[in-house]
Structure 1
Amino acid sequence: MLKIGLTGGIGSGKTKVADLLAGWGASVIDTDLIAHGLTAPGGRAIQPIVDLFGPDVIENTGALDRQKMRELVFSDQSRRPELEAIMHPLIADEVLAQAARATGLYLVFVVPLLVESGRWLDRVDRVCVVDCDQETQIRRVQARSGLSLETVQHILNAQATREQRLVVADDVLINSGQTSLADLENQVLVLHKGWCKLVV
């Protein structure tokens, strides 16, 4: 099955693109959604996180307190690899399980840190980048989540640059502040039709 790696910076519009592709028959596997599930109450990552980081990073609901964890890994860079050592193997297991069950026209892996991880480029047939200027990213993220400018900037700094993503891109979708929803849908449809022709 044809494997597409879909990536882009925070606030670029990856979820919208993935939703469109799913609606047209692709099987979408979103690593962010998997991560949220693993850190939800009773999720497989919760106990290992408590063991390593302590109970203070867990909300009363039993879910990971994402804000506290974000602040922790941004203030102490040595903690981020520790968190990734817990999350990445669990995410990989679930990705494989979902891929084995996939029945769509082709597979789309939504991976925010596809370029940064260094593990995905040889696992997919094509890389599709949702490209967006940083000012628009910041505006969208703040409107969506209410995060402070400083926090959003920390997240952006931890991600690959636009240039780094575009270097590895086979396909690019432009979703800047001037891009209308209709324009984005048209761009995605063109790629979808092209990918369908590659399916064997």
Structure 2
Amino acid sequence: MSARTHALTIALTGGIAAGKTAVARRFEALGVHVHDADVAAREVIEPGTPGLAAVVGVFGPEVLDASGRLDRPAMRQRVFADPAARKKLEAIIHPGVRQWLRERVLAEQGPYCLLAIPLLAENIEHYRWVDRVLLVDVPESVQITRLIARDGIDQTLARRMLAHQASRAERLALADDVIENDGDEAALDDAVATLHQRYLALAS
């Protein structure tokens, strides 16, 4: 097997309200770098970036707020109502996000790092370069209960949000490692500690 030229790269994913952030925080507490696709998605369309220029080129200057930043609430409403607009926006942002994540991996000094990618299953063809996939898994009933409590929404909207994502089965099919997060959050400590040792061993 050829020597790896980058840190062992673990993609951390899971459905909405599965508990990815709680897992990521525990890895960070162990000194592991977690590079977040949601952070990347904001950074690649900051003022002055080619990403924001491309968004304005496609959607017009009215998508900017008074400070010259992307008016996110207005953009969100627009793309939620118009699937074609959403595809155009994703075609601009997603390649920038992937490049941002690749650059973080190539600059990584630690033995391994995590990439938090919520929509991994939906975009897996673009992430064949990650070494492993870690899934935070919960039953859909738990996701719905947590979503209602977290976002103050009703069950109908919670189910619709789930329907927009890959299915639980699709995510499980991709996973090399699975953390079950349907119980007490404190149980995550042991699960993360065990995986940390496994990843250190794999990295060496």
Tell me the TM-score range normalised by the shorter chain: 0.7 to 0.9
Q: Which amino acid aligns with 2:122?
A: E
- C-alpha distance in 2, partners of 1:63/1:188? 37
- C-alpha distance in 2, partners of 1:138/1:56? 35
- C-alpha distance in 2, partners of 1:21/1:80? 32
Instruction: Quote how far apart the aligned CAs of 1:185 are.
Output: 1.7
For 1:92, the equivalent position in structure 2 comes to 98
For 1:187, the equivalent position in structure 2 comes to 191
- C-alpha distance in 2, partners of 1:9/1:39? 25
Structure 1 segment 147-162 matched on structure 2, within 5 A: 152-162=158-168
For 1:116, the equivalent position in structure 2 comes to 122
Post-superposition Cα deviations, 1:132-182, rounded to whole Å, max 9, x if no partner, equal: 233433444455455676655444222111111001111111112xx1121
Q: 1:65 to 1:170 in 2, by over 3 A?
A: same
- Alignment of 1:24 onto 2:30: yes
- C-alpha distance in 2, partners of 1:90/1:99? 14
- TM-score of the two chains, using structure 2 as the length reference: 0.83
Q: List gaps (5 residues or longer) in structure 1.
A: none
- Percent identity between matched residues is 38
- TM-score of the two chains, using structure 1 as the length reference: 0.85
For 1:67, the equivalent position in structure 2 comes to 73
Q: 1:54 to 1:148 in 2, by over 3 A?
A: farther
Q: 1:149 to 1:63 in 2, by over 3 A?
A: farther
Q: Which amino acid aligns with 1:6?
A: L
Q: Which amino acid aligns with 1:97?
A: E
Instruction: Quote how far apart the aligned CAs of 1:24 are.
Output: 1.1
Q: How many residues align?
A: 198
Structure 1 segment 44-59 matched on structure 2, within 5 A: 44-59=50-65
- C-alpha distance in 1, partners of 2:72/2:147? 15
Q: 1:113 to 1:194 in 2, by over 3 A?
A: same
Q: 1:116 to 1:180 in 2, by over 3 A?
A: same
Partner of 1:130: helix, strand, or coil? strand
Q: 1:86 to 1:121 in 2, by over 3 A?
A: closer
Q: Which amino acid aligns with 1:98?
A: R
User: What is the RMSD computed on CA atoms of the aligned residues?
Assistant: 2.4
Partner of 1:129: helix, strand, or coil? strand
- C-alpha distance in 2, partners of 1:43/1:136? 39
Instruction: Quote how far apart the aligned CAs of 1:40 are.
Output: 4.3
Q: Is the 8 A contact 1:9 1:112 kept in 2?
A: yes
For 1:166, the equivalent position in structure 2 comes to 172
Partner of 1:185: helix, strand, or coil? helix
1:196 is aligned, of 192, 195, 200, to 200
- C-alpha distance in 2, partners of 1:142/1:57? 30
Post-superposition Cα deviations, 1:94-128, rounded to whole Å, max 9, x if no partner, equal: 11221122112302111111111133552122111
